[in-house]
């Protein structure tokens, strides 16, 4: 079987979304990439999570050609591939229709950074894509969704804001691995929920001061990060 470890990682990341309450029925999908092989492992389309096995993960190349697997891949595979092609540092992509992040996507409103929980993971507001045009919707829709995400990040380093809201649809998140992409999807949902609560308490709430935002993001992710334990090799 091709890419045994990657299949297991991708399955585990998909199950993490279920455990964290981000997935209803078969909504959502996580993939991971083996950059050396140029191959992507993704959840199959429409299979119940409790029945998923590593063998059922579908293996595709970066042209979308299935190289291993009997099941159809998640229909969002072309979106995932577009992100892997344009964001060379990412190793995993997670897509959910989690309640609060999807509400912000439907409102076509970027999620401002109201607090340090947001700043710890996202170095700026979580952006929203433009709406897809009629031609993009009628054409290669899933690929165009990926293109719209990449356009949104033309001026943003995707490793500093590992999430986007697709207008009228839902979030896509990413990270160095499939597990970290799923982790970011969980954090995004939490941040989206708290931003909604913040605005419901005070509709005039102001985004966090830039200094505090930078402080929190950079102590975890910057070159001189010092949060957590020192990693030993
Ligand atoms: Zn979707």
Query: What's the predicted TM-score (pTM) here?
Result: 0.94
Binned at pLDDT 50, 70 and 90, residue 94 comes out as: very high
Alpha helices in the chain (DSSP H): 4-19, 77-86, 99-106, 116-121, 134-138, 141-152, 178-201, 210-221
Residues with CB under 5 A from ligand 1 (ion): 170
> What per-residue confidence (pLDDT) applies to 227?
76
The answer on pLDDT for 224 being more than 90 is no
Instruction: Give catalytic status of residue 76 as yes or no.
Output: no
In this prediction, residue 12 carries a pLDDT of 97
Quick one: tokens of 174? 């990413």
Give the CA-trace dihedral at 178, 184, 187, 193, to 10 degrees.
Answer: -110
The answer to whether residue 141 is catalytic is no
- Ramachandran bin of 172, using left for φ above 0, alpha for ψ from -120 to 50, beta for the remaining angles: beta
The rounded Å distance from CA 172 to ligand 1 centre is 8
Report the percent of the chain where pLDDT is more than 70.
98
Report CA(232)–ligand 1 centroid distance (Å). Answer: 38
Give whole-number Cα distances, 18 to 23, 80, 96, 194, in Å.
Answer: 5, 19, 10, 20
- Per-residue pLDDT band for 233 (boundaries 50, 70, 90) equals very low
pLDDT surpasses 50 at 174 = yes
């Amino acid at each position: 079987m091709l890419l045994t470890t990657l299949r297991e990682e991708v399955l585990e990341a998909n199950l993490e979304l279920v455990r964290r309450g981000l997935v209803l029925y078969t909504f959502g999908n996580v993939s991971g990439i083996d950059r050396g092989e140029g191959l992507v492992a993704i959840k199959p389309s429409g299979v119940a999570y409790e029945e998923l096995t590593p063998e059922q993960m579908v293996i595709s190349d970066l042209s979308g050609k299935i190289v291993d697997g009997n099941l159809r891949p998640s229909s969002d595979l072309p979106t995932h591939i577009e992100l892997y092609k344009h964001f060379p540092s990412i190793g995993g992509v997670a897509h959910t229709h989690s309640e609060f992040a999807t509400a912000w996507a439907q409102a076509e409103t970027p999620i401002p950074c109201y607090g340090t929980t947001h700043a710890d993971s996202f170095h700026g507001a979580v952006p929203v894509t433009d709406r897809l045009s009629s031609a993009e919707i009628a054409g290669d829709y899933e690929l165009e969704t990926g293109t719209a995400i990449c356009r949104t990040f033309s001026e943003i380093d995707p490793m500093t804001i590992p999430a986007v809201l697709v207008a009228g649809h839902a979030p896509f998140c990413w990270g160095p691995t499939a597990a970290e992409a799923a982790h970011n999807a969980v954090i995004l949902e939490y941040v989206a929920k708290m931003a909604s609560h913040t605005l419901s308490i005070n509709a005039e709430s102001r985004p966090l001061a830039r200094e505090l935002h930078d402080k929190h993001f950079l102590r975890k992710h910057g070159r001189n990060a010092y949060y957590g334990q020192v990693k030993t090799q």
